[in-house]
Chains A and B, each alone.
Chain A
Amino acid sequence: MSSAEFLVQGFIKAFELIFSLNPYIVSITGVSVRVSGTATLLATLTAIPLAFAISFIHFRGKQALITLVNTGMGLPPVFVGLFVFLMIVPVGPFGFLNIVYTKEAMILAQYILITPIITGISLAAIKAVPKLIIETVYTLGGTEKDAAVATLKEARFGIITAVLAGFGRALAEVGAILIVGGNIAHTGSVGGIGEGLSETRTLTTAITSETSKGEISTSIALGIILISLVLSVNIMANYFQRRD
């Protein structure tokens, strides 16, 4: 079999797996979206109030916090994975939580990775709102709360872009969740391929393990789904950036 035929066969089988809604592939996709979605939701709930606090409230250590956020935007995922792992292993300070090799641990690692990203981009979007908008709110009789709401409305497209960027980063992340999640699938084969349904196996971690096993068509199928998801998120982010 030539390399071209090998690739073509791989793609044909990959599309068969996708369109037949293979349970193994579906379960991996489900775990990916659930873990990344939950991490994004929690990170958003932290990041947006944090970005507003940094923008509107004067407090000691504000500049240090901004530096921390900026540093956090470039955190190496493997380092975050190792850090979380050391915290949650049975002998670690949070070992009592008993979450090592669970989705919760993966959500925690992704939360740490993407919270600074969503905060940083939201902060930039909030800072881009002209000061005159806030002053206009005051001149029309608005309170600090009204000014914050008006800023949120003006920065809405930038903030949505920040959330989508965080979600995209979480979906595409592999190092941290591989360490804390363990890339676990249940034993036994489903749909004729791979192992059982995914427990902590995501699109990215599954691609690494399936490729190392030589299951190229499964890897291609997972890659197509991953790229499609990330592409969709980026198309949405671009759409909101254009509207801004």
Chain B
Amino acid sequence: MKEMFRIENLSKSFGNKKVLQNINLKIFTGEIFAFMGPSGVGKTTMLRLLNLLEMPTTGKLIFNGNDTAILQKNNVMSRMSMLFQRPAIFNTSVFNNIAYSLVIRRVDKKTIEKKVIDALDLVGLAGCEKQKSLTLSGGEAQRMAFARAIVFKPDVLLLDEPTANLDPANVAKIEEIIRKIRSELGTTIIMASHNIHQVRRIADRVGILLNGELIEVNSKEQIFTHPFDARSYAFINGEFIY
């Protein structure tokens, strides 16, 4: 498999607080990789570093074989998309929200219309394009944010707790969308989640983060059946106190 990200000895601190320490990891093209761990261990910071919203304090982040420290930041960011736990919605129509990334890329109007309609179909919001986005329910807003994040076909989709605060029906829909995006678009998906069951349902490989350290990276099957680290075992079995 082709290497999408290579992370070498990466650490991140905010002031005196060390959030991530000495992370080493490879993420491959087309896989669904999940950073799993309890709240506050650095999962979101990890995704923000991959998206270049934050820069590492030390260490290297290699994207498609190139060091992101010397690449034009915008060129790298324009090939990725990130979905936040609570999506930020532009105060305009659903159509304009989803079309945004295409408009700033100066895609022609007809293509934009077609791509937006296709994206709405994919997330199960067909016919909602004229609706004011602020009137959407939490689940619909999250699905609209998905459509907005994938409409320009990014190489990488970063998902930060994509189903937190959603009801089971919407969780199922979002998980279905994640699978579809991977199978239909071949997008590399990297997610952060503390939801063990969800990670088990959709991830290919899992990295367990605890107190800013990546304590174990392995296939989903290995992690959930025979984790190497005792702390991984404790977290997966709900015995980890945090």
Q: Are A138 and B77 in contact (CB under 8 A)?
A: yes
Verify A153–B92 contact, CB threshold 8 A. yes
The answer for the CA separation of A179 and B113 in the assembled complex, in Å, is 58
Query: Which stretch (B6-14, B80-88, B164-172) binds chain A?
Result: B80-88
A143 within 8 A of B: yes
How many residue pairs link A and B with beta carbons under 8 A? The number is 51
Measured in the bound complex, the distance between the Cα atoms of B77 and A139 in whole Å is 6
Beyond the given pairs A140-B148, A141-B77, A153-B90, 11 more chain A to chain B contacts, judged by CB atoms under 8 angstroms and listed by A's residue number, are: A133-B88, A135-B53, A138-B77, A139-B51, A139-B77, A139-B81, A139-B82, A139-B158, A140-B101, A140-B104, A154-B90
Q: Is B78 part of the binding interface, using a Cβ–Cβ cutoff of 8 Å? A: yes
Asked if A135 meets B88 with Cβ closer than 8 Å, knowing A140-B148, A140-B149, A141-B74, the reply is yes
Contact call A143/B74, Cβ cutoff below 8 A:
yes
Residues in A neighbouring B152, C-beta threshold 8 A? 140-141
Asked whether any CB of chain A lies closer than 8 Å to the CB of B201, the reply is no
Interface residues of A, dominant DSSP? helix
Residue of B nearest to A243 (CB): B91
Is B114 in the interface zone, CB < 8 Å from A?
no
Of residues 185 to 225 in A, which have CB atoms within 8 Å of B's CB atoms?
A: none
Chain A window 130-150, contacts with chain B (Cβ cutoff 8 Å), 1 for yes, 0 for no: 101101111111110010001
A141 and B105 contact, CB distance less than 8 A: yes
Q: Are A132 and B88 in contact (CB under 8 A)?
A: yes
Residue numbers in B under 8 Å from A137 (CB-CB): 100
| 3 A-B pairs with least C-beta separation | A141-B78, A132-B88, A139-B82
Distance between B93 CB and nearest chain A CB, rounded to angstroms = 12
- The answer for the CA separation of A238 and B152 in the assembled complex, in Å, is 38
Chain A residues in 8 Å Cβ range of B158? 139
Q: Which chain A residues border B105 with CB–CB below 8 Å?
A: 141
Taking a contact as CB atoms under 8 Å apart, the answer to whether B74 and A130 are in contact is no
Interface string of B139-153 (1 = CB under 8 A from A): 000000000110010
Minimum Cβ distance to chain B for residue A24 (Å): 46
Q: Which of A147-164 contact B (CB under 8 A)?
A: 150, 153-154
Within B48-96, which residues are at the interface with A (CB < 8 Å)?
Answer: 51, 53, 74, 77-82, 84, 86-88, 90-92
Q: Is B90 a contact of A150 with CB atoms below 8 Å?
A: yes
Partner pick for A136 among B74, B80, B88, B91, CB 8 A cutoff: B88
Main secondary structure of the interface of B (DSSP, over half): loop
Other-chain contact of B100, A132, A135, A138, A140 (Cβ < 8 Å) = A140
Please, how many angstroms separate the alpha-carbon atoms of A142 and B149 in the complex? 12
- Contact yes or no, B90 A142, CB < 8 A: no
Tell me the complex Cα distance, A141–B151, Å.
Answer: 12
Question: A138 to B88, Cβ gap below 8 A?
Answer: no
Interface residues of A in 115-138 (CB under 8 A from B): 130, 132-133, 135-138
Within the assembled complex, what's the spacing in Å between the Cα atoms of A87 and B151? 58
User: B159 CB to closest chain A CB, in angstroms?
Assistant: 11
A-B contact pairs, 23 of them (CB 8 A): A132-B84, A132-B86, A132-B88, A136-B84, A136-B87, A136-B90, A138-B53, A138-B77, A139-B53, A139-B77, A139-B81, A139-B158, A140-B152, A141-B74, A141-B77, A141-B104, A141-B105, A142-B104, A143-B74, A146-B104, A150-B90, A153-B90, A154-B90
Minimum distance in angstroms from B191 CB to a CB of chain A: 14
Cβ of A76 to closest chain B Cβ, rounded Å? 37
In the bound complex, CA of A139 to CA of B53 (Å): 8
List, in ascending order, chain A residues with CB within 8 A of B79's CB: 141
Give the shortest distance, in Å, between A154 (CB) and chain B (any CB): 6
Q: How many angstroms from the CA of A132 to the CA of B85 in the assembled complex? A: 11
Min distance, Cβ A69 to any Cβ of chain B, angstroms? 26
Residues in chain A near residue B88, CB distance under 8 A = 130, 132-133, 135-136
Beta-carbon nearest neighbor of B52 in chain A: A138
Closest to B48 in A: A135
Complex CA gap A138/B90 in Å reads 13
> Which A residues are CB-close (under 8 A) to B80?
139
Once the chains are docked, how many angstroms separate the CA of A136 from the CA of B53? Answer: 10
Cα-based distance from A130 to B11 in the complex (angstroms): 27
Kindly name the residue among B81, B82, B87, B91 whose own CB sees the greatest number of chain A CB atoms within 10 A.
B91
